[in-house]
Amino acid sequence: MNPMDLVSRLVRSADDEAHEDADVRTDGGTATSERQGSGRGFLASNRNLVESLPFWLPPALLVGLFVYGAIGWNVLISLTDWEGLGSPEYGSLDLSMYAQLLGDDTFIIAFRNTLVLLIAFTVVSLAVGLVVAILVDQRIRFENTFRTVYLLPMSLSFVVTAIFWSWMYNFEIGMINQLLRLAGLDFLTQQWISDPQWKMAAIIFALMWQFSGYCMVVYLAGLRAIPTEQYEAARTDGASTLRMYWRIIVPQLRASTTSAAVVLMVFALKAFDFLYVLFGDTPGPSVDILSVMMFREAFSTTNWAYGSAIATVLFLMALSVIGPYLLTQYRRGDL
Cβ closer to another protein: 157 or 241?
A: 241
Residue 229 engages another protein in binding (rule: CB under 8 A) = yes
Q: Tell me the closest approach of the beta carbon of residue 235 to another protein, in angstroms.
A: 5
**HEC string for the chain:** CCHHHHHHHHHHHHHHHHHHHHHHHCCCCHHHHHHHHHHHHHHHHHHHHHHHHHHHHHHHHHHHHHHHHHHHHHHHHHCCCCCCCCCCCCCCCCCHHHHHHHCCHHHHHHHHHHHHHHHHHHHHHHHHHHHHHHHHCCCCCCHHHHHHHHHHHHHCCHHHHHHHHHHHCCCCCCHHHHHHHHCCCHHHCCCCCCCHHHHHHHHHHHHHHHHHHHHHHHHHHHHHCCCHHHHHHHHHCCCCHHHHHHHHHHHHHHHHHHHHHHHHHHHHHCCCHHHHHHHCCCCCCCCCCHHHHHHHHHHHCCCHHHHHHHHHHHHHHHHHHHHHHHHHHHHCCCC
Residue 235 engages another protein in binding (rule: CB under 8 A) = yes
Among residues 19, 37, 232, 324, the one that binds another protein under rule CB under 8 A: 232
Q: Tell me the closest approach of the beta carbon of residue 62 to another protein, in angstroms.
A: 42
Among residues 106, 230, 282, 301, the one that binds another protein under rule CB under 8 A: 230
Cβ closer to another protein: 186 or 232?
A: 232
Among residues 2, 145, 252, 301, the one that binds another protein under rule CB under 8 A: 252
Residue 236 engages another protein in binding (rule: CB under 8 A) = yes
Residue 255 engages another protein in binding (rule: CB under 8 A) = no
Contact mark string toward another protein, 284..303, x via CB under 8 A: --------------------
Cβ closer to another protein: 19 or 235?
A: 235
Residue 258 engages another protein in binding (rule: CB under 8 A) = no
Residue 254 engages another protein in binding (rule: CB under 8 A) = yes
Residue 87 engages another protein in binding (rule: CB under 8 A) = no
Binders of another protein in range 107-146 (CB under 8 A): none
Q: Tell me the closest approach of the beta carbon of residue 114 to another protein, in angstroms.
A: 32
Q: Which of 204, 220, 215 is nearest to 138 (CA)?
A: 220
Residue 233 engages another protein in binding (rule: CB under 8 A) = yes
Cβ closer to another protein: 181 or 235?
A: 235
Residue 86 engages another protein in binding (rule: CB under 8 A) = no
Residues that bind another protein (CB under 8 A): 227, 229-230, 232-239, 243, 247-248, 251-252, 254
